[in-house]
Amino acid sequence: MHTTLATLDGPSLAGGLSVLRLSLHVLAATVWVGGQFVIAGLLPTVRGLGDSAPRQIASAFGRLSWPAYWLLVATGLWNYLAIDHAHATSSWNMVFGIKMMLVVIAGLGAFLHTKASKPSTRGMFAGIGTLASIAALVLGVAIAG
Ligand code: HEM
C-alpha cells in the first residue's frame, strides 16, 4: 500500500520542453539575481582598483544582466502560456500578479540605479532592485508549486 501511494504521489520528471523552458528561466534568474550578489561582494575590491573601476564593472555587468532580464521576461511569458489557467487558484493568480509587480520594480530599480548620479540615491535604487529581484525569485518558486 505504501508503494502504491508513493507511485501516485511521488516525484515525477518534467517533459522535455518543460525542462528547456524552466531551465532557461532559472538560468536567466541565476545571472540576474546571482550576478547582483557577486557584484555587491566584489565591490570593495573593485573600488580599490581606481575611481572609474566600479562604473566600468557595472556597465560590463549590464551587458550580461539586461539580456538575462529580457530572457526572464520571454521565458516567463512562455511559462505563463504553458500553464493550465482554468485550474489556477485565486491565490496562485494573486501571487503571480505580485510577482509581476516585483519584476517591474526589479527592472526599474536596476535601471534607475544606473542613471542616478548621487551615491545615496544610487545605493537606494540598487537595494530596491535587488530586494525585488529576490522576492520575485521566491514567489517564482512558490508558483512553480
Ligand atoms: C526578476 C525576474 C524573475 C525571476 C527572478 C524569476 C524566477 C523564477 C523562478 C526561480 C521560478 C521557479 C522555477 C522552478 O522552480 O521550476 C519561476 C517560475 C515561474 N515564473 Fe518567473 N522569474 C522572473 C520573471 C518572470 C516573468 C516576467 C514571468 C511572466 C511573464 C514569470 C513567470 C513565471 C511562471 C509562470 C513560473 C511558474 C512556471 C511553472 O510552474 O511551470 N517569471 N520564476
pLDDT digits (tens, 9 = 90+) for 101-119: 999 999 999 999 999 999 9
> How much is the pTM?
0.91
Domain annotation covers residue 7: no
* pLDDT recorded at residue 1: 39
Domain annotation covers residue 8: no
Residue located nearest, by CA, to atom 17 of ligand 1: 140
* pLDDT recorded at residue 10: 86
Please write the tens of the pLDDT for every residue from 44-95.
999 999 999 999 999 999 999 999 999 999 999 999 999 988 999 999 999 9
What is the number of structural domains in the chain? Answer: 1
- Cell of residue 48, nine digits: 580599490
Would the pLDDT of 5 be above 70? no
Structural domain harbouring 43: 17-144
Mutate which of 27, 30, 99, 101 for ligand 1? The one with the most ligand atoms within 8 Å of its CB, which is 99
- Among 42, 49, 54, 45, residue whose Cα is nearest residue 113: 54
- Cell of residue 36, nine digits: 547582483
CA distance 89 to 96: 11
Q: What is the mean pLDDT of the chain?
A: 93
* pLDDT recorded at residue 85: 86
Would the pLDDT of 8 be above 70? no
In the reported structure, the alpha carbon of residue 22 is separated from the centroid of ligand 1 by a whole-number distance in angstroms of 8
- Cell of residue 111, nine digits: 535601471
Instruction: Measure Cα distances from 81 to 24, 59, 76, 86, 139 in Å.
Output: 15, 33, 9, 12, 18
* pLDDT recorded at residue 83: 92
CA distance 43 to 27: 23
Domain annotation covers residue 11: no
